Amino acid sequence: MFKKYKVLKWGLLFITAIIILVVSFGFWFKGLIPPPNTNVVNTLVKDLPYISENNIPHRGKILAVVTSTNTMGNSGKSTGYELTELSRAYYTFVANGFEVDVASPQGGKPPVVIDDEDMGPFDYAFLNDSVAQHKTSNTIPINEVVAADYQAIFFVGGKGAMFDFPNNKAIQVIIKNYYETNKVIGAVCHGPAALVNVTLDNGRPLLENKKVSGFTNKEELLLIKEAKSIFPFLLQDEIINKGANFNEGHMYLEKVSHDKNLITGQNPWSTWFLAESMIKQLGYTPKYRVITDEENAVTVLSTFHINGKKKAKKIIEKLIITENKPVNITLIAKHSIVAVMKGELGNFFDLLELTSFTEKCESRQKK
């Protein structure tokens, strides 16, 4: 009896200690992440020099296409187009002299996904931009688009694209005609779903032997375990099935593939570079843009995965201390959580260390 009591006592003490450690870690981890900057919510276009200053003369028009689907199949999960993937590309095109129209399979006001944690100044400016909001509230039905009016087309991601992009005949016709006349085609994240069923005049799939990026199986399945039963296909699998050379980067980090006039990106973090790659393919040098704190964090994380923790620390120090450039701590912290979800405990602790190191560098810089 006494032994059982002793075992129970030590068991309860052990569990209590674990709970205390977990709670303490939670408070410590939360303390590393800065509170949201509420001032950014009111950002206007005039507050962004990239868009409002040194305006470039009109160069033409680009069409952005978003999904009309608001539910992932029969799952009941809500979806739509990803705001950040539209807003950042939209302003890149506008800043470089292009007018942007927005279309969707059904026209009208499509569903949108807004993730507060990913929102930055350009995204809030988009929400506060009456012109941009009019265009997204009154999208052009894709079968009414006059394709000749545009120099390029850009397919915005969002999981809804998996359902209404692949089999849309109007989308297929525009893509085929653009590709065969050397107009620029861009697609990011789930946006490349628009490409999978396009057949060229020679009878071959558009994607055959093309270097292509898109949302990967690993990225999809980590967040939605039942993705294979929800979506009509996994995007990476279908791109490969069509004969493409799938170009996969690190999870949730920038990766863009550029194959002649076809430019594709793996995920939302690829949007800036993809849009600027489209500008280059159109024959122009992209306008100078101050790199965002999120992009700097992506550089840190990419360095970590390729060259290890020590090199990543050097990049953090160089960016923050030497160059006085911001690094998004929250994104680095998120990747430590991704490491846990993947069962990579070593990477988890290393990324926690990088998160803490970034915070320390920022504190040094402020002094």
Enclosing H/E stretch for 264: strand 262-265
Give the DSSP per-residue string, 76-144.
Answer: --B--EEHHHHHHHHHHHHHTTEEEEEEESS-B---EE--GGG--HHHHHHHT-HHHHHHHHSBEEGGG
A 10 A CB-CB count for 191 gives: 31
A 10 A CB-CB count for 357 gives: 19
Instruction: Tell me what pLDDT residue 365 has.
Output: 86
Instruction: Tell me what pLDDT residue 366 has.
Output: 80
pLDDT in tens, the chain (367 residues): 555 555 555 555 444 444 444 444 454 455 555 666 667 899 999 999 999 999 999 999 999 999 999 999 999 999 999 999 999 999 999 999 999 999 999 999 999 999 888 899 999 999 999 999 999 999 999 999 999 999 999 999 999 999 999 999 999 999 999 999 999 999 999 999 999 999 999 999 999 999 999 999 999 999 999 999 999 999 999 999 999 999 999 999 999 999 999 999 999 999 999 999 999 999 999 999 999 999 999 999 999 999 999 999 999 999 999 999 999 999 999 999 999 999 999 999 999 999 999 999 999 888 7
Nearest residue to 361 (alpha-carbon basis) of 306, 293, 295 = 293
The structural domains of the chain, with segments of one domain joined by +, span: 40-281, 291-367
Q: Is the Cβ–Cβ distance between 230 and 208 less than 8 Å?
A: no
* Cα–Cα distance measured from residue 294 to residue 300, given in angstroms and rounded to the nearest whole number: 10
Fold of the 40-281 domain: Rossmann fold (3.40.50)
The tens digit of pLDDT for each residue in 47-103 reads: 999 999 999 999 999 999 999 999 999 999 999 999 999 999 999 999 999 999 999
3 state SS of 239: helix
* Cα–Cα distance measured from residue 182 to residue 83, given in angstroms and rounded to the nearest whole number: 28
Residue type, 327: V
The pair phi, psi for residue 43, each rounded to 5°, is: -60, 135
* Chain centre distance of CA 318: 25
* Cα–Cα distance measured from residue 193 to residue 157, given in angstroms and rounded to the nearest whole number: 9
- Interhelix angle 83-95/271-281, rounded to 10 degrees, is 40
Q: How many CA atoms lie within 13 A of 70 on its CB side?
A: 5
- CB environment 23-59: b (16+ within 10 A), e (fewer): eeeeeeeeebeeeeeeeeeebebeebebbeeeeeeeb
3 state SS of 299: helix
Give the DSSP per-residue string, 31-43.
Answer: HHSPPP-GGGGG-
Task: Name every residue whose Cβ is closer than 8 Å to that of residue 129 and which is 6 or more positions away in sequence.
Answer: 44, 45
- The residue assigned the tokens 């949730």 is 252
* Cα–Cα distance measured from residue 288 to residue 286, given in angstroms and rounded to the nearest whole number: 6
pTM of the model: 0.91
Residue type, 195: L
What are the tokens at 117? 């944690």
Q: Is the Cβ–Cβ distance between 124 and 114 less than 8 Å?
A: no
